[in-house]
Amino acid sequence: MFEADDLSSDLSGRAMHHLVSELFPICRSITGNGLRQTLRKIQDYIPLTTCEVPSGLKVFDWTIPAEWNIRDAYIKSSAGDRIVDLRASNLHVVSYSVPVHVRLSLAELKKYLFSDPDHPDCVPYRTSYYSPTWGFCVAHNQLVSLQEDEYEVCIDSVLEPGHLTYGQLRLAGNSADEVLISCHICHPSLANDNLSGIAVAAALAQYLRNRDLRYSYRFLFVPGTIGSIAWLALNQAAIGSIKHGFVLTCVGDAGAPTYKRSRRGEAEIDRAWVYTLQQSGDPFTVVPFSPFGYDERQYCSPGINLSVGCFMRTPHGKFPEYHTSADNVSFVKPAALRDSLDRAIATIDVIENNVTYVNQKPMGEPKLGDYGLYSGIGGTSADDYQMALLWLLNMSDGTASLLDIAERSGLPWDILKQAAVALTSADLLMRQ
């Protein structure tokens, strides 16, 4: 058992994995009580505020849909056995299915059954948010084994005017300029594609909340697509304050890290992520922006054009468990969650400390030994710290940021920061 404040301090990642396990059984969609239950559970860890957006409200080119809730759903054989049961997996029902209670032949029933022949033992995930219909998702092996029979089909759902709910947390820093960190919260029982991002975002918020921050940080927990569009439409006055950002999703599998650039391509947040991934020495992938994926495509839409990328491990659609019942709690690894959190922390450290310095003695190289910054014994190769001193002095002409120097020198971030502190204390550098 883990206490609520253990997410960011647990170096094994098991506390984040525990949160994934807690959230996994909840039947979520883009609206409804499952969404609210999910946000209440996150509130056990961080002080989220929630916002209810009414059905029918126009948000840019979209309209907030009716609220969907479901109580039960099943397919019964003529013998009364539940052969498909929402209580066994909430993936069994196509999300946003309209209510239905009928008896159907096998041929009629098959029109409403969805399976994935490429993954015959898995239940797929399907939705129909904006086209009223109904359906069930089943493993393909079960579908082909169904016998001729008269089946009782029931979806006890409600679609009625209500609200879309999202959560947010703003951590105030020394500047009103913000870093946006977003994850989607609408998928039912999908551990990597959905819950891993929630767990890492909550842990990151815990890590940052008691620190002296340069930037303010805004965490958004929103239903996919419609949630980010609603937030952008209702918070247009805040958009101009967002200077950097990233989406967290699929961050719990054992694959190597992947970063998807923002629409701007070479924004500071893009460079920071690429630099920290390079510095790790581990395999990683960087992919260009494309207008398909998660909510980064909303934050990077042409009328918004924020510097928001997306951090993943194996990208969506690239792992066979994606959008199936195999994306379960065991598929998500505690060590991967911890590694994802650590990489996010490292990237934030870069943007927090990416400032520009000016060399106060630029005429030739200062005699560093007089400042206690250089060994009195010559003839040896310079170590990373000595090289950091020299790179900082040479490049700090008021035009190069610390990240510029880090990228050009290839030196570790922590060593460059230490060298900058030492040179500033010796009055050889001044922060611009």
Note the pLDDT tens digit of each residue in 34-76. 999 999 999 999 999 999 999 999 999 999 999 999 999 999 9
The mean of the pLDDT values for the chain is: 96
Tokens of 318: 């690239």
Task: Report residue 103's pLDDT band, with 50, 70 and 90 as the boundaries.
Answer: very high
Residues 6+ apart with CB under 8 A from 90: 25, 27, 188, 189
Q: Residue 1 — pLDDT band, cuts 50, 70, 90?
A: very low
CA quadruple 66, 71, 75, 78: dihedral sign: negative
- The residue with tokens 């030994």 is 369
Return d(Cα 334, Cα 342) in angstroms, integer: 12
- Domain 67-160 belongs to what architecture? 3-Layer(bba) Sandwich (3.50)
* Tens of pLDDT, residues 290-299: 999 999 999 9
Q: With a cut of 70, say whether residue 228 has pLDDT above it.
A: yes
Binning pLDDT at 50, 70 and 90, where does residue 6 land? Answer: confident
Residues with Cβ within 8 Å of 237's Cβ and at least 6 positions away in sequence, in order, are none
Say what the pLDDT of residue 381 is.
53
User: Are the C-beta atoms of residues 157 and 98 closer than 8 Å to each other?
Assistant: yes
- Strands 100-105 and 150-160, how do they pair? antiparallel
Which sequence spans correspond to the domains of the chain?
4-65+163-352, 67-160, 355-431
**Regarding the domain delimited by 355-431, which CATH topology (the fold level of the hierarchy) does it fall under?**
Arc Repressor Mutant, subunit A (1.10.10)
Confidence (pLDDT) at 4: 56
Percent of the chain with pLDDT over 90: 96
The Cα–Cα gap between 428 and 432 comes to: 13
Q: Is the pLDDT at 336 greater than 80, yes or no?
A: yes
Whether pTM exceeds 0.85: yes
The half-sphere exposure of 281 on its side-chain side, counting CA atoms within 13 A, is 2
Both tokens of 146, joined, read 């169904």
Q: Is the CATH number of domain 4-65+163-352 3.40.50.720?
A: no
What's the 3-state SS for the chain?
CCCHHHCCCCCCCHHHHHHHHHHCCCCCCCCCHHHHHHHHHHHCCCCCEEEEEECCCEECCEECCCEEEEEEEEEECCCCCEEEECCCCHHHECECCCCEEEEEEHHHHHCCEECCCCCCCCCECCECCCCCCCCEECCHHHHHHCCCCEEEEEEEEEEECCEEEEEEEEECCCCCCEEEEEEECCCCCCHHHHHHHHHHHHHHHHHHCCCCCCCEEEEEEECCCHHHHHHHHHCHHHHCCEEEEEEECCCCCCCCCEEECCCCCCCHHHHHHHHHHHHHCCCCEEECCCCCCCCHHHHCCCCCCCCEEEEECCCCCCCCCCCECCCCHHHCCHHHHHHHHHHHHHHHHHHHHCCEEEECCCCCCCCHHHHCCCCCCCCCCCCHHHHHHHHHHHHCEEEEEHHHHHHHHCCCHHHHHHHHHHHHHCCCEEEC
What pLDDT score was predicted for residue 379?
43
* Rounded CA separation 46/42 (Å): 6
For the stretch 350-387, pLDDT in tens is 999 999 999 999 999 999 999 999 765 444 457 999 99
Report the alpha-carbon distance of residue 178 to residue 171 in Å, rounded: 9
Give pLDDT tens digits for 297-306.
Answer: 999 999 999 9
